[in-house]
Copies of this chain bind each other. A is one copy, B any other.
Amino acid sequence: MRQDHLVAAGQLSRADVEGLLDRAAEFDAALAEGGGAALPARYPETVLALCFYEPSTRTKMSFETAMKRLGGRVVDMGSVDASSVSKGESLADTVRVIEGYADGLVLRHPREGAAKMAAEFVDVPVVNAGDGAGQHPSQTLLDLYTIREAAGLDDLTIGIVGDLKYGRTVHSLATALTEFDARMHFVSPESLQLPRSVRFDLHESGAQVREHTDLDEVLPELDVLYVTRIQRERFPDEDEYQKVAGEFKIDSDTLDAARDDLTVMHPLPRVDEIAPEIDDTDHAHYFEQAHNGVPVRMALLDQLLSNHE
């Protein structure tokens, strides 16, 4: 990976992704061994700025943890209400000020394209941690890392279920998987199917894509089942929501039809999509998936910070 910034998963070639995942695996092993002493790269004098214009728990905490596990330091812009943004400052001005404080910048912003714009204004590395309905490439990397560890990325059959219309996580992951020739099955209620533009791009890339409204059709052949949250507020009335949510809920009965080595993933937070009874089975990889955010973001920060030196 030769880029100075990471604003979209599409920037990364298959080789870039594999390089980052290999590096993440090294960090993962070092962390599992119990510590930083084993970590190959250190940034004792380096400061990373976190600029989150929208709420986040896991993305923000895992970037912060990653930087600290690398031996580096973090400064947090704090909430937008408490910042200069509320005085009318433009994003371009804010990031140019913060550039003078920090050696890198992680940005989440409600506006699509925000990270790309920020990257044009500053010289330090910018990582897109979510821009509206746009991209969230570090989430895609940790998803790919989790798939690789659990099921392998070669010859993969994956089912992606839930809200396929609004989920930026799903769109980025699907795009990235085209690089790995995965067979993709998209399962959702009619009203939450893939957006036309994403479907078009996938077909253009020659990806093996099928769409379903019934999970049972494809469950038995899946290596990985990637579940996403269906948001209540997408539905005009509560009854309609309950019906759909119930239909796509994963529990022990659902998984009776699955392969024994099926890997179940979820970007979290979940509400009801996966029954707690699954948590203690070998299928459950969603907490591990969240934990993988740390080594993957260590690898990403390490790469960007060392490119920049």
* A residues apposed to B, CB below 8 Å: 34-37, 39, 44-47, 49, 55-58, 60-62, 64-65, 68-69, 73, 75, 77-79, 81-89, 92-94, 96-102, 268-271, 276, 287-288, 290-291, 293-294, 309
A-B contact pairs, 23 of them (CB 8 A): A35-B45, A45-B69, A47-B68, A47-B69, A55-B82, A55-B86, A57-B77, A57-B85, A57-B97, A58-B97, A61-B101, A65-B101, A79-B82, A87-B269, A87-B271, A88-B269, A89-B270, A89-B271, A97-B268, A97-B287, A100-B291, A100-B293, A101-B293
**Number of this chain's copies in the complex:** 3
C-alpha spacing A134/B268, complex, angstroms: 30
Least Cβ distance of A17 to chain B in Å?
A: 22
Specify which chain B residues have a CB less than 8 angstroms from the CB of A45 in the assembled complex. Answer: 35-37, 39, 69
- Least Cβ–Cβ distance between A250 and chain B, in angstroms: 15
Say how far A196's CB is from chain B's closest CB, in angstroms: 27
- Cβ-closest chain B residue relative to A97: B290
Rounded to whole angstroms, the CA-CA distance of A61 and B60 in the bound complex is: 17
Task: For A271, list chain B residues within 8 Å (CB).
Answer: 87-89
State A88–B290 Cα separation when bound (angstroms): 17
Which residue of the partner chain, among B35, B65, B84, B86, contacts A75 with CB atoms under 8 Å? B65
Residues of B with C-beta under 8 A to A88: 269, 271
- Contact check, A58 vs B36: say whether CB atoms are below 8 A apart: no
Q: Which residue of B lies closest to A82 (CB)?
A: B55
In the complex, chain B residues whose CB is within 8 Å of the CB of A77: 57, 61
Determine the distance from Cα of A36 to Cα of B34 in the docked complex, in whole angstroms. 23
A269/B101 contact (C-beta < 8 A), A57-B84, A61-B49, A83-B57 known: no
Do A73 and B78 form a contact, CB below 8 Å, given A36-B44, A83-B57, A271-B88? no
| A81 CA to B57 CA, complexed, in Å | 10
Q: Is the CB of B89 within 8 A of A268?
A: yes
In the complex, what residue of chain B is closest to A54 when comparing beta carbons? B82
Q: Tell whether, in the assembled complex, residue A83 and residue B96 are in contact, meaning their CB atoms are under 8 Å apart.
A: no
A94 to B81, CA, bound (A): 24
* A44 CB contacts on chain B under 8 angstroms: 36
Q: Are B55 and A100 in contact, with the CB atoms below 8 A?
A: no
Chain B residues with CB below 8 A from A270, complex form = 89, 93
Given contacts A93-B268, A99-B287, A100-B294, 14 further A-B contacts (CB under 8 A): A35-B45, A37-B45, A45-B69, A47-B65, A56-B83, A57-B82, A61-B77, A84-B268, A93-B269, A96-B287, A97-B287, A97-B291, A100-B288, A100-B291
